[in-house]
Amino acid sequence: MLRVSEPILGAEERSALVDVIDSGWITMGPRVEAFEAAFARAHDASHAIAVNSCTSGLHLSLAALGIGPGDEVLVPSLTFVATANSILYTGATPVFVDIASLEMPLLCAADAAAKVTPRTKAVLLVHFAGYVLDRELWTAFAREHDLILIEDAAHAAGVRSAGTFGAAAIFSFYGNKNMTTAEGGMILVADESLAERMRRLRAHGLTSTGYERMAVRASTYDVPMLGFNYRMDELRAALGMVQLRSLFDWNEKRRRLTQAYHEILRAQGDTVVLPFAREFGARGVESSHHILPVLLPPDAPRPAVMRRMIEDEIQTTIHYPPCHHLSYYERTLPGILLPKTEEFGRRELTLPLYPGMTIDDVERVCVSLQGAVRYARHEA
């Protein structure tokens, strides 16, 4: 079975975990600090704050930046539901924005501008599929409308431009990401005082951590702010340190596999539409190549294509069911119309992409996809 994604885990990760267990200290401590410093260096960032998930990192960032009840946050509906949920956690309201086009499924600046109101406090960008949005465009947008700019960089680990233009950028290390700690995330920020506030907020608002108190043999602490339990542990940090060493090589392998997909699928003609095709390899456009999304023809039902490909032992999935069509959001924020997002959501199919694949695997997927599309069209 060719899976959609597959982590690379081996002897180095196993040894790193054993070292943590043997150390006798498994909660947040020196390995977390070392991982933060290494991730910040890898992305040319000033400060990094490790957390137990990208979701908690999103919530923590919004809270630390003062987003709260009565505020509105512009956000794409084409994202994993955690992006929108994190806005609701603060008491603010997500305002869903359409994508620019089927070929460029990133947040549309024109639609975002049309939805700015006096209550709009921030815009939460999503670097979908690992493609980083236009820095100049969105920093100018934020200045014009006096908004806080935040980057959901869950897909973009290893892209150096990710995290360089928002007040905060949040990365994911979930099991299907370009590097993994099983669960976990990282926040990058430039402002030192904001970074310090986030470090306190992630650990209940405590003035010192357990490891810090042990180091100086202190027994007391204060809680000057209401915080959360969003800490990363030493085991995940140890995994992260090992994974980070290979991240850029893995991303380069993803780039080569993506290039092979594009060349083969273009040669097939009308099998699928390739989002980001014009941007692939374009000067100034950076990507981690996290996933490989394609758009099926309107007359090829997606369930039939997926069934046919699973018979060929090829897994596919969907990125993503639009948030505003999920039942919770249909109940709480009804009546939203995002035509391009909805069309993309109806036709999108995610193909296997991970560093352990070969070019032969890519060819196998493309042949299967072509046959599955013909089959689905006939069945329809």
Known catalytic residues are 177
* CA–CA separation, 308 and 314 (whole Å): 9
Going by C-alpha positions, the residue among 73, 255, 230 that lies closest to residue 152 is: 73
Going by C-alpha positions, the residue among 294, 305, 370 that lies closest to residue 105 is: 294
| C-beta atoms surrounding 221 within 10 Å | 15
Give yes or no for a contact between 218 and 210, defined as CB atoms under 8 angstroms apart: no
For residue 217, give both structure tokens: 């043999």
For residue 239, give both structure tokens: 């995994």
DSSP-assigned letters across all residues of 42-106? HTT-SEEEEES-HHHHHHHHHHHTT--TT-EEEEESSS-HHHHHHHHHTT-EEEEE-BS-SSS-S
> By three-state DSSP, how is residue 273 classified?
strand
> By three-state DSSP, how is residue 171 classified?
strand
Going by C-alpha positions, the residue among 261, 337, 343, 342 that lies closest to residue 297 is: 343
> By three-state DSSP, how is residue 4 classified?
coil
* CA–CA separation, 116 and 241 (whole Å): 41
| Rg of the chain in Å (alpha carbons) | 21
Give yes or no for a contact between 94 and 143, defined as CB atoms under 8 angstroms apart: no
Query: 107: number of CA atoms within 13 Å, CB side?
Result: 30
* CA–CA separation, 16 and 22 (whole Å): 10
